Structure formats: C-alpha cells, structure tokens
Amino acid sequence: METLANLESFVRSAETGSFSAAARRLALTPAAVSRNVAQLERNLGVRLFQRSTRGLTLSEAGERFLQTVQGGLDSIQSAIADITVNAGQPAGVLKLSAPPGFGVDYLLPLMPAFLARYPAVTPDWYFDNRPLDLIAGGFDAAIGGGFDLPPGMVARELGRMHLIAVASPEFMRGKRYPEDPAGLAELPAIVMRSPLSGRPRTYVMRNSAGAEMAVVQKPVMTVSGPDAIFPSTLLGLGVGLIAVPHALPHLESGALERLLPDWYSDIGPISLYFASQKLLPAKTRAFVDFVTEAFRTQNLAQVLSIRNQARRAQ
C-alpha cells in the first residue's frame, strides 16, 4: 500500500511539471520528491514520468493513474486539514436518548447554554421510556435508569430518583389516610406497567429509620409510563407514586398532599451512559462534561431526591 507522501509527490509533480516546483509546494527537497516518485514507480512496476532536461512529461500510464488518484488525494488532504483545524472542537450530530419527562424538565433547559457554547453540535433527541440497546442504536449518550450496561459502555451517576405517595385533597376527602405503605392497598391507585414484563411495577418504600415495606397498590388505572401518573393523580383519579420534583410544586400549592410523610421509594440512580473508549468524540465528551457540571452547579441531584426538598412539603 502506497504512502500518502509518495502519492502526493507524484500528483504535485504532475501538476507543476517538475520535481523542484512540487518540492516547494510540499516543503520538501527536490531530491526527496524524486525519491518518493521513484519508489512509487518501483512499487507499481510502471514508469509514470518521461524525464528530460526540459522537465517531466506524464507517460500514458501516468496519465491514467493521475486521473484515478488526483481527486481522492484532494479529498484526503481536505479531510486531514479539517480534522487538524477542528481537532478537539465539538461538532456534528449528537444522538441522545432520555425519558420524556426527565428530558423535557431537566435536559432541554440546559440546551440553550450548551448550544451557545458548542454551536457546531446538533443534538438529535430520542425521548423514550423503553430500555434501549445504545450501541446497536448508534447513540452517543443516553440518560436514564435501569439500563443493562453492555460491554464498552460506562455509566456516570447524576443523582437518585425518589418517589413519594401523593393524592389530591378532593380524592382523599372522606377516606382513611394510610399509616404505612401497606395501607396504600386500601386506596385506588394509578399504577405503572413494567415495560419489560407488562405487569404492574412493584415498589419498596423506606423511612428515615431505615425500615422497608413493600407497596401493594389497587389499580384504578394502569399506564405505560410515569409521565401519565402525575396528571392522573392531579385530576383526582387515585393515589400516585410521583417523582419528588414533579410533586413538590403542587404540594406547596395545595393541589396535592403527601401521604406517608416519612416514607419514600428510591428507584435507583439516574445516570449518563456513554462509550468507555478513551478517545471519545469531542461532541460526546463536551455533552458528558457539560451535563455533569450542570447537575453539580445547579444541585439537580438534590432536586431529584427526598433530601432537602420533599421535607419542605411535610
């Protein structure tokens, strides 16, 4: 396989008609250009130039070879120049996945600042609650919980998502308030179906003393994703296990009230998933660092959990 130097020496010599002129364009000596061309001829087994005191003339084989390689060499050089100039500069389409509610509430608000800093990056968002094969799907990064971590992927935890039991005051009027998670079984609930099994999801709640208790819900309605539970609860259809940041404003306004103030369910980490390769594309590295820093500086990890937040609504 020929080196780029040999091919470049041949093409520039053909264009200028001399080794000396080609050498000036390539910042080489005429002897170095001549050696490169001679090596190319030996490797190919054909004479590419007719040499004379008046200069260089392409042979018939040289003419055909020039037509074949000239455009390709220009493309390669343009690509090398582009990657050199833009080395480390985030650019290109960034394919991302996130749960709809979380993505709209916490990731989209970060995008104006991200795009202002990296205008050459084009986020391509897929908002979906279903588990994804990130590598087969060609995703640069994903945010969510419960992903199987395939070989070649790493997870960076952003925070832990906590759920609390809430209901509207109108729904609870005349009803007995539960004393512990087992008591939720007496109240109609909006229940989420597991995307994997198709059966209602089960939860375990814990309290500040460290006690744990399984939650048994009585479905009045089953939904396929968490984004439908919150509005259904707000409409007074039943009890809902709602993520803390979604519930908090409505607890403060009085539209919802928290049942079991000392109990919550930790459904696991919300993580940022991306390839474990050392040389990540600049666009992916920029996104990973930007989101991680935003979660740190804006204290978003605390917003997701019961700590420092839901206690205000107790």
pLDDT the model gives residue 200: 84
pTM value surpassing 0.95: no
The stretches in the chain having pLDDT less than 50 are 308-314
Write the pLDDT tens digit of every residue in 153-193. 788 998 888 999 999 999 999 999 999 999 999 999 999 98
Strands 257-258 and 153-167: antiparallel
pLDDT the model gives residue 130: 72
pLDDT the model gives residue 314: 43
Q: How far is CA 84 from CA 26, 34, 277, in A?
A: 17, 27, 21
pLDDT the model gives residue 89: 82
pLDDT the model gives residue 41: 93
pLDDT the model gives residue 214: 92
pLDDT the model gives residue 137: 79
pLDDT the model gives residue 151: 64
pLDDT the model gives residue 311: 43
Q: Which residue has the tokens 């080609």?
A: 22
pLDDT the model gives residue 310: 41
How far is residue 194 CA from its own chain's centroid? 24
Between CA 198 and CA 206 the distance in angstroms is 25
Phi, psi for 154 (deg, rounded to 5): -130, 160
Q: How far is CA 91 from CA 76, 165, 222, in A?
A: 19, 43, 42
